[in-house]
Amino acid sequence: MTIPIALTIAGSDSSGGAGIQADLKTFAALGVYGASVITALTAQNTRGVTGIHPVPADFVTAQIDAVFGDLDIKAVKIGMVAEVAVIEAIVSALARWSPAHVVLDPVMVATSGDRLLAADAVEALRHKLIPRAQLITPNLPEAAALLDEPIAESESDIARQGQRLLALGCAGVLIKGGHGQGAESIDYLVTRDGVKPLAAPRIATTNTHGTGCSLSSAVAAGLAKGDNMDTAVRSAKAYITAAIAAADRLDVGHGHGPIHHFHRFD
């Protein structure tokens, strides 16, 4: 049996709800084999992050080369990159291996509010890693931080910020609307063809740990299976919406609990 393979390059979440663990769960739930490269270890749970231990850049390189040297990687998802040296190692590896699809989730702050990206690494993220991505998936605060702008409050502001992010060199930008207000959670897919709003009901739950990680890995899973970007994004949005809707069926931790990655199998 041939199975599509996707690779996640991200940080480890010791509580299992976000990061590498969420990515691998998402890949598995969507019928994709997941490989992983760990960029940082975190001590965290549903209440917050209590410690970050970056993986040395040369060992990040060793992991990437080991995986690409053996497995037929169809898509790559990149999450927490932590430091400038790690970003540079990933950029060099992407140039060396030239994967067909790269989805970058510019993880800067955890759901709990804890910072996950060193301040001096933001510039490297902007100008070295984003140009290597087919799609980037910032939330509203991340899009604003990448552009040194206030958080967008209108659809026109979101579209303008999306166009500015496109100008950094990626092919598409999915600005996630989960931090917004209103009855609907609207994500905006911005490409050179225009802006497409993707709406879903806003779900009243505090169990949203790992939502962003899982959305970007769901997009990567779709691309690994051969979907085009529009189809992969729409399918990922539907999967995440259902996973959030089912999150309260789980009882994990005492803070922001995880979404339900395997809701289809209940």
In single-letter form, the type of residue at position 148 comes to D
Backbone angles phi, psi at 217, to 5 degrees: -70, -30
Catalytic-residue membership of 170:
no
Catalytic-residue membership of 177:
no
Instruction: Name the active-site residue from 180, 211, 237, 257.
Output: 211
Pairing of strands 5-13, 102-104: unpaired
Instruction: Name the active-site residue from 208, 225, 237, 257.
Output: 208
Dihedral of the CA atoms 95, 84, 109, 202 (nearest 10)?
A: -10
Q: How far is residue 55's CA from residue 44's CA, in Å, rounded to a whole number? A: 16
> What are the angstrom distances between the C-alpha of 102 and each of 34, 44, 95, 127, 219?
14, 27, 12, 16, 10
Instruction: Name the active-site residue from 74, 128, 176, 225.
Output: 176
Q: How far is residue 257's CA from residue 234's CA, in Å, rounded to a whole number? A: 24
Instruction: Name the active-site residue from 39, 213, 225, 257.
Output: 213
Token pair for residue 151? Answer: 């958080």
Instruction: Name the active-site residue from 16, 212, 222, 257.
Output: 212
Q: How far is residue 253's CA from residue 159's CA, in Å, rounded to a whole number? A: 37
Catalytic-residue membership of 231:
no
Instruction: Name the active-site residue from 210, 222, 225, 257.
Output: 210
Catalytic-residue membership of 208:
yes
Token pair for residue 95? Answer: 């140039």
- Residues annotated as catalytic are 176, 208, 210-213
